[in-house]
């Protein structure tokens, strides 16, 4: 049976601290947590004062967005009703899930592909008066 999902900060026994959407599921004699889009939140400070937060994926080499964690691996968990944190999380998830990326153009810095650029540079080199480098 899966319980309703909620936002939470989870401290794992391995030391990781993550923020995510959580749903608990009883699987026989153990409880599993289904965590969605877990992120690591890092405070960014300037001269001792918090100026913002840096959000990063918990697992940087995975493209999955849903993970299963055994409750035995959790040190502590705190349900979050912090609207600011939830809004930052939802904005991060929405931006990271975009599958339609803009096509590069000259305004963004795209000047050409490697093959075309190589041909242009070879022509410039052949036309230059000093080839004895």
CATH topology (fold) of 6-98 = SH3 type barrels. (2.30.30)
CA 42, 77, 74, 69 torsion-angle sign? negative
Weakest mean pLDDT among 4-18, 54-68, 116-130: 116-130
Contacts of 15 (CB under 8 A, 6+ apart): none
Instruction: Give the residue ranges of DSSP H helices in 19-74.
Output: none
Q: Whole-angstrom Cα distance, residue 100 to residue 30?
A: 40
Instruction: Write the pLDDT tens digit of every residue in 4-55.
Output: 889 999 999 999 999 999 998 888 888 899 999 999 998 888 887 767 888 9
Residue ranges of domains in the chain: 6-98
């Amino acid at each position: 049976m899966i319980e309703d999902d909620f936002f939470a900060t989870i401290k794992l026994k391995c030391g990781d601290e993550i923020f995510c959407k959580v749903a608990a599921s009883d699987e026989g004699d153990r409880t599993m947590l289904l965590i969605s889009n877990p992120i690591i939140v890092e405070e960014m400070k300037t001269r001792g004062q918090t100026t913002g937060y840096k959000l990063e994926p918990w697992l940087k080499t995975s493209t999955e967005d849903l993970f299963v964690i055994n409750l035995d691996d959790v040190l502590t968990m705190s349900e979050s009703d912090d609207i600011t944190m939830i809004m930052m999380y939802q904005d991060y998830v929405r931006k990271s899930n975009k599958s339609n990326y803009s096509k590069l153009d000259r305004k963004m810095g795209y000047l050409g592909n490697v093959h075309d650029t190589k041909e242009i540079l070879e022509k410039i080199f052949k036309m230059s008066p000093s080839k004895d480098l």
